Amino acid sequence: MSDTPDSAVRTYIDTHRAAFLDDLADWLRIPSVSGRPEHADDVRRSAEWLAGKLKETGFPTADVWETPGAPAVFAEWPSGDPAAPTVLVYGHHDVQPAALADGWHTEPFEPVVRDGRMYARGAADDKGQVFFHTLGVRAHLAATGRSAPAVNLKLLIEGEEESGSTHFRDLVERERDRLAADVVIVSDTGMWSGTTPTVCTGMRGIADCEIDLHGPDQDIHSGAFGGAVPNPATVAARLVAALHDADERVTIPGFYDNIAELTDAERELIAELPFDEAEWLRTAKSHAAFGEAGYSTLERVWARPTAEVNGIGGGYQGPGGKTIVPASAHLKLSFRLVSGQDPYEVEAAVKEWVAARVPEGIRHRVVFGAPTRPCLTPLDHPALQSVVRAMGRAFGQKIRFTREGGSGPAADLQDVLDAPVLFLGISVPSDGWHAPNEKVELDLLLKGVETTAYLWSDLAAALPRTPSGETPGSPA
């Protein structure tokens, strides 16, 4: 399934590598932090920059799509062949906040290339991984002599992934017809390592909440009143303490109902990876592994749901002591979800569980954010073999399989467009997502370019051709 000579692809990439990296650096200079209102203009500038660059790349359509929040970018390059399958690539152009003071060695929005890596916020998550698609499609055309891609190529690059994709599902529903695709390729995940290339086959979902607990109307004397009125900080601590049992299983009733257990075949694929727990701990910057009994570390992170305390506070935190019963306490919790769990059922179960544990005299409020659903690639889909073949050609190695513990709105695309989701990412765990000194490995970034240069021809041959007049995603 290859009409693309590998040497022609490599030569094309070598010739255009410098300009490609300069362009990426320009984009990374735009601090498109979607979580900070003061950066709203930068997020817009980032969208406009990308739309311009996609037009320059050759996409006949590259538009900024408005949402009630940050703008997304949609681009489309129809194949000349009306029966060719349609692929939708997903990524995001917004980034996490970053400041020099957080421990960056250089300015986070001043990209620097050192030792074959480009350092900048967004280098790996996700601008680098969106950007490899630009040179990738050009290399595909140059090497095949085509003037349009072998598949109908669509890109949807959203602008609020790092703040929870608040308006993403509505956008996908609104534009369902233009987004219709036979497969979705998500380029917002990573690989096992630079020496063990892998395809991700699933992401977890997430539901997060804040819990406020209010006791006395103000801080009160702990000698005069303590021991005779309920203390909201104690209630917060009891909630946290009750969240897991002795096997580190989440105690919320119904939490594990209907979840997709790993099959033996999936457990074997995970066990095939060269996992070194000491090295993993160094990357995690943690000092011990810990978690649900009966599961390996990778199984815990990729395939098991969790409850995490992200923040806990209340009462006096300043220097010295202060003998009070505090007026209030607060918790921030998040739950990573796996296939089979419904975020709204988890929300209802958590609310009920909290309500049953808050004593009389403490007022409480549990507020959930917009959830992200879990998403799995169907392992028997032919497009997965195309991704594996294309990566195999680029890397010259056997491609193995991973999942990711993180979350993204991929499942919304899967549900609304009724299309399978595949993942194509080249980031590695040491890239420092959301951390200071985020970087992307340039050789891997160019392997991403090379993979897509092969992928579109492979998919065009591997996927069923669309009978003319039929729109992908529409009911048969």
Residues that bind Mn ion (CB under 5 A): 125-126, 188
**406: contact with ligand BES by CB under 6 A:** yes
User: Among Mn ion, ligand BES, none, what binds residue 414 when CB lies within 5 to 8 Å by partner kind?
Assistant: none
Q: Which of 31, 190, 215, 305 binds ligand BES (CB under 6 A)?
A: 190
The residue among 42, 75, 28 whose CA lies nearest residue 159 is 42
Q: Which of 407, 414, 451, 457 binds ligand BES (CB under 6 A)?
A: 407
Stretch that binds ligand BES, among 185-193, 229-237, 238-246, 414-422 (CB under 6 A): 185-193
What the block records as the tokens of 122 is 């967004």
Stretch that binds ligand BES, among 71-79, 131-139, 184-192, 313-321 (CB under 6 A): 184-192
Task: Kindly give, in sequence order, each residue whose CB lies less than 8 Å from that of residue 321, ignoring residues fewer than 6 positions away.
Answer: none
Q: Compute the distance between CA of residue 262 and CA of residue 169 in angstroms, rounded to an integer.
A: 28
Stretch that binds ligand BES, among 145-153, 178-186, 188-196, 256-264 (CB under 6 A): 188-196
What does the chain come to in residues? 476
Cβ proximity of 126 and 92 under 8 Å: yes
Nearest residue to ligand BES on Cβ basis: 406
**206: contact with ligand BES by CB under 6 A:** yes
Site residue total, ligand BES (CB under 6 A): 15
How many other CB atoms sit within 10 Å of the CB of residue 342? 17
User: Among Mn ion, ligand BES, none, what binds residue 404 when CB lies within 5 to 8 Å by partner kind?
Assistant: ligand BES
**350: contact with ligand BES by CB under 6 A:** no
**164: contact with ligand BES by CB under 6 A:** yes
**32: contact with ligand BES by CB under 6 A:** no
Burial (CB < 10 A; 0-12, 13-18, 19+), residue 5, is exposed
In DSSP terms, 203 is beta-bridged to: 375, 404
Q: Of 218 and 283, which CB lies nearer to ligand BES in the complex structure?
A: 283
**450: contact with ligand BES by CB under 6 A:** no
What the block records as the tokens of 319 is 């220097």
Burial (CB < 10 A; 0-12, 13-18, 19+), residue 236, is buried
**162: contact with ligand BES by CB under 6 A:** yes
Q: Of 200 and 235, which CB lies nearer to ligand BES in the complex structure?
A: 200
Cβ proximity of 209 and 252 under 8 Å: no
- Rule CB under 6 A: which of 120-149 touch ligand BES? 125-126
Please give the biggest Cα pair distance in the chain.
85
User: Among ligand BES, Mn ion, none, what binds residue 339 when CB lies within 5 to 8 Å by partner kind?
Assistant: none
**158: contact with ligand BES by CB under 6 A:** no
- HEC states along 286-318? CCCCCCCCCCCHHHHHHHCCEEEEEEEEECCCC
Under the rule (CB under 6 A), what is the footprint of ligand BES? 125-126, 161-162, 164, 188-190, 206, 372, 404, 406-408, 433
